[in-house]
Amino acid sequence: MSDYDLLLLGAGHAHLGVLRRWALVERPPGRIALLSPGPQAWYSGMLPGLLAGRHAAADCQVELLALCRAAKVELIISPVQSLSAAQQQVQLADGRSLKARWLSLNVGAQIATPPQQGDAMQLLAVKPFADFLAGWQQWQAVPQPLAILGGGAAGVELALALAGQVPQLALFCAGHLLDGLSSGLRLRALGHLRQRGVWVREDCPISRIENDCLLSGDEPVWRGRRLLLASGAKAFAWPAHSGLGCDEQGFVLVAPTLQSYTHPTIFAAGDCASLAGARKSGVYAVRQGPVLAANLGAALRGLPLKRYRPQRHSLALLATGDGGALLDWYGHSAGGQLYGRWKDWLDKGFIRRHSL
């Protein structure tokens, strides 16, 4: 068993920010390691552009070894399998056990799957991205009609990126398209989707899959053999089994300092954390990075911690698959190629900032 001062679990957006800050400013004292399933961290904001053929895979990833070297942090390539919050101990998939005085979780979330009966329909979840891209490459070789589950920003961006690459495309949303964003943005997105031949079904929650059929309640709503899952974030099971206090959906309950309420020596940020006012989106995870970096440093040095305050509004920029983007800002919407160029600039800037 190896002992560390701090283990960073997952190379999510917040941890990337932590590593960058430590590389550029000052790294706190102690033995620190990052645990990641692979040597790269995918940047979700560029995934739709990658699928639309506008980016190369290498442009959408952060190389973790270089970033960790710059931050003087060990990189351990293996996914976390389980965690004991009481013992501050992490079990890795490769069999290793690691202990640390402080832990920080930024492992994101997985995608919910409706119950399935029969195996006539193939399912492909958009996360983890590496598995998704490998699966999509196989599907792309023999295009077939496709349904996408999830009418949030991810589902809309994927539908617009993939329209034209498959013979028929349907998009299913449990509620309204882009719930929580402005009605202007929803109308613009609906216009783009219709123009690109995507069949959109709003207020159509998919309750189960029976053979080659999607059912909403007991009503059959779509028949086909391929379903892409891009619906809301579902918590991984292991944090809830670790003894950490979690909300009813299994996300780690954290205080504004990003410390677990039940185990203050464990921090959590991004989609895997549950904090009032913080949405499950990359934008919020990125904003948590500086506070998390400061607090992990303060924890290691025995200093007081800062509080993270979620921003009330956040900018949404949705790629339309043709180089353009739709913007939502304080309830106002707009769209066009100019916003697409702005989104590209912001996205590439994120990768550049973390390529040290």
CB of 326 to ligand FAD, least distance (A): 11
Q: How many CB atoms lie within 10 A of CB 184?
A: 16
Nearest CA-CA partner of 175 in 98, 231, 236: 231
Q: Which is nearer to ligand FAD, 211 or 355 (CB)?
A: 355
Q: What is the rounded CA–CA span in Å between residue 316 and residue 325?
A: 10
- How many residues comprise the chain? 356
Q: Which is nearer to ligand FAD, 70 or 77 (CB)?
A: 77
DSSP state of 212: T
CB of 348 to ligand FAD, least distance (A): 13
CB of 107 to ligand FAD, least distance (A): 4
User: Which residues would be at the binding site for ligand FAD (CB under 6 A)?
Assistant: 9-14, 35-37, 41, 44-45, 47-48, 79-80, 106-108, 126-128, 153-154, 157-158, 230, 270-272, 280-283, 285
CB of 218 to ligand FAD, least distance (A): 29
- 91: enclosing H helix or E strand: strand 89-92
Q: Which is nearer to ligand FAD, 128 or 145 (CB)?
A: 128
Residue pointed to by tokens 């983890």: 128
335 alpha carbon, distance to own chain's centre: 24
Q: Which is nearer to ligand FAD, 23 or 62 (CB)?
A: 62
CB of 301 to ligand FAD, least distance (A): 25
Q: List the structure tokens of 333.
A: 């919407």
Q: Which is nearer to ligand FAD, 79 or 145 (CB)?
A: 79
Pairing of strands 252-253, 219-223: unpaired
- For residue 247, the one-letter residue type is D
Output the CA angle 47-52-58, nearest 5 degrees.
50
Q: List the structure tokens of 142.
A: 């023999």
CB of 27 to ligand FAD, least distance (A): 20
Q: What is the rounded CA–CA span in Å between residue 261 and residue 192?
A: 44
Q: Which is nearer to ligand FAD, 35 or 121 (CB)?
A: 35
